[in-house]
Amino acid sequence: MIRAVERRLRVFAFGGLLSYRALFGWVNPYVFIGVMVIPDLTQIVFFAYLGRATGIGDDTFFLVGNALVAAAIPGLFGMADTISDERRTHTLSLLVVSPASRLSLFLGRALPIALNGVAVSVIAFAGGSLILGVKIPLTAIPALVVVIAVTAFACTGLGLVNASIGLRQRESATISNLIFYFLLLAAGVNVPLALLPDWLATIAQGLPVTHGAEAARELVAGARLADVAGLLGAELLIGAAYALVGLAAIRAFELQARRGASLELA
């Protein structure tokens, strides 16, 4: 029993860490900066100026929204790549026949990605506020970190669903982009929910980032962590729901692929 738990923890911790390192090919830090830092900062600047041009929202609105959605990039693309990279390197079949617990395996891979999402989002927040001259109250920073962590978790949950689709679909990058663009459009990141049609605003309530962005905006405006507990709870719940659906779908699609011998063909 203890050995089984130990094995699971080992798969969770070391498997996740190794997979993460292989995922981004971290030979040089410049790859991280080029892929995850600079694009997020330039995205913040682009939308802040778009906001100035349209007169909708101030710089803070766009900084908060885009800094939070930055956590979705590692969550979506990173999780999808855990499947597609295995397929590309012809190790997906080996992974599927291995006796390792799928729960430990995929949660182990999700944890570093969620932490990465937190780091990217914090950097985007700090860098974006410096570039745009947005003042974030120092007292709000610890609560903001909590919101960022919850949002990164929710995005990674959605990433697990995305990863499961990777077992059925070869074009995981396309699907990741599709989901990310949908978040940009509908999750209250760049377009206030009040400006969206009702049906889209309703869908937004079930997306990661929507409640996180709202909570972060309230914190920057002076609210306390307790004031946004409801929003945080909703974000957490959404993330957990996506994670559960993702893990179940991975299991179901894996069985389906084994039965149909379609693992490499998807």
Q: 177: which 2 tokens? A: 């982009």
Of 174 and 262, which CB lies nearer to another protein in the complex structure?
Answer: 174
Tell me the number of residues near another protein by CB under 8 A. Answer: 31
Task: Pick the closer one to another protein by CB: 15 or 57.
Answer: 57
What phi and psi, each to the nearest 5 degrees, are found at residue 161? -65, -45
Q: What is the closest distance, in whole angstroms, from the C-beta atom of residue 248 to another protein in the complex?
A: 27
List the interface residues with another protein, window 23-52 (CB under 8 A): 25, 30-31, 34-35, 38-39, 42-43, 45-46, 49-52
Torsion sign, CA atoms 223, 40, 206, 24: negative
Site membership for another protein, residue 130 (CB under 8 A): no
Q: Which sign, positive or negative, has the C-alpha torsion 142, 181, 163, 208?
A: positive
| Residue from 111, 185, 223, 241 in contact with another protein (CB under 8 A) | 185
**For another protein, the closer CB: 143 or 184:** 184
Task: Decide if residue 132 touches another protein (CB under 8 A).
Answer: no
Among 70, 136, 148, 191, interactor with another protein by CB under 8 A: 191
* 190-219: burial string, b at 16+ Cβ within 10 Å, e else: bbebeebeeeebeebeebbbbbbbbbbbbb
Q: Considering only CA atoms, give the Rg of the chain.
A: 19
Give me 84's structure tokens.
Answer: 């597609």
Name the amino acid, one letter, at 246.
G
Q: Is 54 in the site for another protein (CB under 8 A)?
A: yes
Q: How far apart, in whole angstroms, are the C-alpha atoms of residue 42 and residue 46?
A: 6
CB of 152 to another protein, least distance (A): 20
What binding mask, one character per residue, do residues 160-179 give for another protein by CB under 8 A, x or -? -----------x-xx--xx-
Burial bucket for residue 99 (CB in 10 Å: 0-12, 13-18, 19+): exposed
Distances (CA, A) of 111 to 4, 6, 136, 208: 20, 18, 28, 17
Q: How far is the CB of 47 from another protein (least distance, A)?
A: 9
Least distance (Å) between residue 258 CB and another protein: 26
Tell me: does residue 14 bind another protein (CB under 8 A): no
Determine if 96 is a binding residue for another protein (CB under 8 A). no
Q: What SS3 state is found at 72?
A: helix
| Residues engaged in binding another protein (CB under 8 A) | 25, 30-31, 34-35, 38-39, 42-43, 45-46, 49-54, 56, 171, 173-174, 177-178, 181-182, 184-185, 190-191, 195-196
